[in-house]
């Protein structure tokens, strides 16, 4: 099958592994963060880590949409469904993320809240059309990849004059998170993670292009290689990073040329800009409050903003005391550092958000048995 066989060729992977072994300098360490949970997943699933020389260490980043969603935002969605009679629609992974008081959206649904899983924001719009007598809220989460569809349905709802539809917007921005990690300012008193470079996001970069990474590559002197999600994409990106480090370069390179351009999807960016503006600050799970790191609806679309419409207050809620999701999302700990990993906390019974989604570092480690090594 095109785009699967071509990018999962074991012989080619071994060949790149040999190149890596030949080119790494024996007396130095190479520390690369894969920002995306999709890359974390692929590294574990395809055994890419087994093909890397011991000098290369891959570090998980925070690029998993449900992992970075703080409990307080999920509580807001549950409040809408449980206490205010709204139908709340959202993506499947969001339903299982633990919230306050032992709840999750799934458990709130079991208590009678009208919470529905959707595969696309347009499904939420269809629910609003089908139930004009009810308030319908789309709980919108995710990075730049999922933001354009949300923008489109807000504009569609506006055109149709759908008065019972709104969006609880929790869309976040990738460059702000990377910049925050590089400042090492995630948590006061805790040193930031030491990195030589990044495997840059795939899908996010299709939307925003690779140009937004240039400022922090230059400012922090870090190498960045945008990579696709197939194993050969990642192997090639790591080889490109090793070469940059060896040559003392800190540039943005694009391995994922079949999908990513310098400018990205300009039409999608325009739609997003029409509907959303950047928030002053936003709380991320594990990373704390980051300035200019998330979106909210513009005044023009205020009537579709669930936070304003329902006057929803935001309350910071700490994670489970033993859960290490925060340090894992900042790249300073591994899933196996958590004493709940694989015993109390499993994909069937997640305690923290990193065990929920297949993009979460704990779920990837658990599902593909990386922890056994
Ligand atoms: Fe949190 Fe579970 Fe991961 Fe531990 S194993 S850090 S409790 S998600």
Q: What is the DSSP string of 293-311?
A: -BEEE-GGGGGGBHHHHTT
Residue bearing the bigger pLDDT, 183 or 206: 206
CA of 324 to the centre of ligand 1 (A): 6
Strands 295-297 and 276-278: antiparallel
The response to whether residue 354 sits with its C-beta less than 6 Å from ligand 1 reads yes
Distance CA 192, CA 310 (A): 38
At 98-108, the pLDDT tens digits run 999 999 999 99
For atom 5 of ligand 1, the residue with the nearest CA is 341
How far are the Cα atoms of 52, 120, 157 from residue 165, in angstroms, in the given order? 49, 15, 7
| Closest atom of ligand 1 to CA, residue 322 | 7
Pocket test for ligand 1, best of 66, 70, 323, 367 (most atoms within 8 A of CB): 323
Domain definitions of the chain by residue range? 71-172+294-309
Atom 7 of ligand 1: nearest residue by CA position: 323
103 CA from centroid of ligand 1 (Å): 17
- What is the C-alpha to C-alpha distance for residues 108 and 106, in angstroms, rounded to an integer? 5
Predicted local confidence at residue 200, as pLDDT: 96
What are residue 30's DSSP bridge partners? 56
Q: Give the HSE-up count for residue 268: Cα atoms under 13 Å, Cβ half-sphere.
A: 17
C-beta separation of 316 from 70 below 8 A: yes
Whether the CB of 362 sits within 6 Å of ligand 1: yes
Q: Is the dihedral of CA 50, 222, 214, 18 positive or negative?
A: negative
Which of 332, 342, 348, 354, when mutated, tests ligand 1's pocket best, judged by the most ligand atoms within 8 Å of its CB?
354
Question: What integer pLDDT is reported at residue 2 of this predicted model?
Answer: 67
Distance 283 CA to ligand 1 centre (A): 19
Mean pLDDT of 268-279: 98
Helix (H, G, I), strand (E, B) or coil at 226: strand
Is the shortest distance between the CB of 351 and ligand 1 below 6 Å? Answer: yes
* pLDDT tens sequence across 38-72: 999 999 899 999 999 999 999 988 989 999 999 99
Ligand 1 in reach of 141 Cβ (< 6 A): no
Burial of residue 349 (number of CB atoms within 10 Å: 0-12, 13-18, 19+):
exposed
Nearest CA to ligand 1 atom 8: 352
Question: pLDDT-derived band of residue 111, with 50, 70 and 90 as boundaries?
Answer: very high
pLDDT of 142 > 90? The answer is yes
Q: Note the pLDDT of residue 155.
A: 98
**What's the mean pLDDT when you consider all of the chain?**
93
- Cβ-count burial of 5 within 10 angstroms (0-12 exposed, 13-18 middle, 19+ buried)? exposed
In the chain, DSSP finds a helix count (H) and a strand count (E) of 14, 13
Spacing, Cα 163 to ligand 1 middle (Å): 40
Q: What torsion do the CA atoms of 180, 182, 185, 187 make, to the nearest 10 degrees?
A: 90
pLDDT category of residue 194 using cuts at 50, 70 and 90: confident
H helix runs in 100-221, sequence order = 105-110, 121-130, 147-160, 174-183, 203-208, 214-220
- Residue range 71-172+294-309, CATH number: 3.40.50.11740
Give the span between the Cα atoms of 68 and 331, in whole angstroms.
13
pLDDT higher than 90, residue 140: yes
Phi, psi of 53 (to 5 degrees): -60, 155
Best CA proximity match to 75, nearest among 93, 51, 98, 92:
98
Q: CA 245, CA 261: separation in Å to the nearest integer?
A: 23
The pLDDT, as a whole number, for residue 186 is 47
């Amino acid at each position: 099958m095109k785009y699967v066989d071509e990018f999962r060729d074991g012989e080619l992977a071994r060949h790149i592994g040999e190149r890596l072994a030949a080119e790494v300098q024996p007396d130095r360490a190479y520390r690369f963060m894969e920002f995306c949970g999709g890359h974390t997943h692929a590294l574990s699933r395809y055994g890419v880590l087994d093909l890397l020389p011991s000098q290369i260490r891959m570090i998980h980043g925070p690029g998993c949409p449900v992992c970075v969603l703080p409990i307080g935002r999920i509580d807001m969605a549950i409040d809408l469904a449980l206490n205010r009679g709204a139908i709340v629609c959202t993506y499947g992974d969001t339903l299982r993320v633990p919230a306050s008081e032992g709840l999750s959206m799934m458990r709130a649904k079991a208590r009678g809240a009208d919470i529905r899983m959707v595969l696309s924001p347009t499904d939420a719009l269809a629910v609003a059309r089908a139930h004009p007598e009810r308030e319908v809220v789309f709980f919108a989460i995710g990075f730049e990849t999922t933001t354009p569809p949300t923008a489109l349905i807000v504009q569609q709802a506006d055109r149709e004059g759908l008065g019972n539809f709104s969006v609880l917007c929790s869309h976040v921005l990738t460059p702000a998170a990377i910049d925050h990690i590089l400042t090492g300012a995630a948590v006061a008193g805790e040193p930031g993670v030491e990195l030589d470079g990044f495997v840059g996001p795939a899908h996010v970069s299709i939307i925003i292009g690779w140009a937004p990474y240039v400022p922090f590559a230059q400012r922090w002197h870090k190498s960045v290689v945008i990579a696709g999600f197939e194993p050969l994409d990642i192997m090639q990106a790591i080889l490109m990073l090793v070469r940059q480090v060896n040559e003392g370069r800190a540039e943005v390179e694009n391995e994922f040329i079949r999908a990513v351009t310098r400018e990205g999807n300009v039409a999608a960016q325009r739609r997003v800009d029409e509907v959303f503006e950047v928030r002053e600050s936003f709380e991320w799970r594990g990373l704390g409050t980051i300035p200019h790191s998330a979106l909210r609806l513009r005044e023009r679309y205020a009537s579709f903003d669930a936070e304003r419409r329902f006057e929803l207050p935001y309350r910071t809620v700490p994670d489970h005391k033993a859960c290490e999701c925060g340090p894992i999302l900042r790249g300073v700990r591994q899933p196996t550092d958590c004493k709940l990993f694989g015993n109390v906390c499993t994909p069937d019974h997640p305690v923290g958000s990193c065990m929920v989604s297949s993009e979460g570092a704990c779920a990837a480690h658990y599902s593909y048995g990386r922890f056994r090594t």
